[in-house]
Amino acid sequence: MPKPKFILALLCFLAVGSSALADPPTAQSPPTAVPEAFKQSPGDNAWMLTSSALVLMMTIPGLALFYGGLVRTKNVLSVLMQCIGAVGLISLHWFVVGYSLAFSDGRFVGGFDWVLLNGVEPDAATPFGYADHIPHQLWMVYQLMFAIITPALICGAFAERVKFSGVALFLVLWSTFVYDPLAHWVWGSGGFLRNADKNPWGALDFAGGTVVHVSSGVSALVCALYLGKRRGYLKEPMPPHSMVSTFLGAAMLWVGWFGFNAGSAGEANGAAVSAFCNTHFATAAAAVAWSLAEYFARGKASALGAASGAVAGLVAITPACGFVTIRASVLIGLAAGLVCFFACTTVKNAFKYDDSLDAFGVHGVGGMLGALLTGVFATTVSDLGRGRQILNQLAAIGAATLLAAVGTFILLVIVNATVGIRVKESDEIEGLDLTQHGEAGYHY
């Protein structure tokens, strides 16, 4: 049973935990900055509703199956619960305060204009130039799906050794103090890294290279280092219990990612088409590159390698997909397959950290690579030139890394001091399915 203090802490942070970051509320009506005449586009609405559903599919069932198949049989349900827990908890967080913090107006974080989604209507225009022809409420729910999957990606780093209550509290805190401010920096109205007119530090991030992948990947590494290794890591075999589940999960991620990337155009237009095509070709190239690297290094190309390479390509093309040509997307995919393979094998083996499911090697490294190469290959860059655009990309990577690393460490300390984060050794031996959830994923 959850401890009362855990439930109380969770509710408090959902409701008011972010007040230290937000601008104080004012008596004035929230700014709108919308066109005088708003006309919805049925086609754009249909595309964005579809994209929202596709991005949700990436978390459940896509990520749940991908991560679930990689752990041992005794821990599969714990991973599935972490994924669906992220859907429930972050949805409520987004409703209470998350969307307002991420997207209402402000320099470093939004305010309380849209708390409890007040003023976010299904027939009103989307403000601040986020989208032109879809209603505000549709933009909000589309962005919710990004807010859900980002902290869920971190779960791959600490799989098989964390308490569910600790994970639940960490997800809410991390979304409040890491994801929401970072999303505002890069995408929100007034964000100091937003790619906007007259912003000399504007970074190109079409669908979340820094906001989603650098932040979750760096946080994953911090979690892995803070929690320490799984019992028996590098001493006993820990193979995936179901490569079929993992492969199916990767396939769902590939399909769902079209909503993630092409949907980020905000409408059914040429930018969506470009993002769609670039996403596919980069992913294909990365899967081939990883498989070839594995073949030359080990003599065999594995299904796990192909699936991992595909995800690496999806990650790397995410920030660039709306800004580059198909030719550049293939180069980005090839680079992602090779670099992420190196990170998940040579680098990880050299430092011996236990990033259980390679969240840092794929999402952290792939996100950084993709963000940097966006500046290199983008067809539209800062008015100050390509060199300055690359500098801006590096600044965004650095800002995301610093916030994620420092924020994650502080939050882990808080969670560990309140509800605890790592399970007892006896629970780890028995498996998290039984000790954390009282049920088994399989019965023989």
Q: What is the pLDDT of residues 189-211, one digit of tens each?
A: 999 999 988 899 999 999 999 99
Instruction: Answer for the pair 363, 153: CB distance below 8 angstroms, yes or no.
Output: yes
Q: How many CA atoms lie within 13 A of 139 on its CB side?
A: 27
Residue 437 lies in a domain: no
Instruction: Answer for the pair 427, 435: CB distance below 8 angstroms, yes or no.
Output: yes
Q: What's the domain range around 129?
A: 43-418
Q: Report the pLDDT value the prediction gives residue 422, as an integer from 0 to 100.
A: 97
Domain of 332, CATH number, reads 1.10.3430.10
Sign of CA dihedral 127, 92, 421, 366: negative
Q: Report the pLDDT value the prediction gives residue 197, as an integer from 0 to 100.
A: 84
Residue 19 lies in a domain: no
Q: What are 367's two structure tokens?
A: 């996100």
Residue 402 lies in a domain: yes
Q: What are 156's two structure tokens?
A: 């791959």
User: For the chain, how many structural domains are there in total?
Assistant: 1
What is the rounded CA–CA span in Å between residue 155 and residue 133? 35
Q: Report the pLDDT value the prediction gives residue 139, as an integer from 0 to 100.
A: 98
CA distances from 79 to 84, 113, 357 (A): 9, 35, 11
User: Could you tell me which of 89, 233, 244, 200 has the C-alpha nearest to residue 155?
Assistant: 89
| Cα three-residue angle 367-147-100, rounded to 5 degrees | 125
pTM of the model: 0.91
Instruction: Answer for the pair 350, 400: CB distance below 8 angstroms, yes or no.
Output: no
Scan for tokens 């530090």, then name that residue: 201
pLDDT tens, position by position, 316-343:
999 999 999 999 999 999 999 999 999 9
| Cα three-residue angle 224-225-228, rounded to 5 degrees | 80
Amino acid letter, 157: A
The DSSP bridge partners found for residue 125 are 135
Using DSSP's 3-state secondary structure scheme, residue 162 falls into: strand
Residue 53 lies in a domain: yes
Q: Report the pLDDT value the prediction gives residue 3, as an integer from 0 to 100.
A: 53
Residue 67 lies in a domain: yes
Low-confidence ranges of the chain (pLDDT < 50): 1-2, 4, 6-35
Q: Please give the DSSP secondary-structure letter assigned to residue 178.
A: I
Using DSSP's 3-state secondary structure scheme, residue 125 falls into: strand
CA distances from 13 to 98, 146, 151, 215, 390 (A): 11, 20, 16, 20, 37
Q: Report the pLDDT value the prediction gives residue 37, as an integer from 0 to 100.
A: 59
Cis before 61? omega within 30: yes
Q: How many CA atoms lie within 13 A of 43 on its CB side?
A: 4
Residue 171 lies in a domain: yes
Residue 26 lies in a domain: no
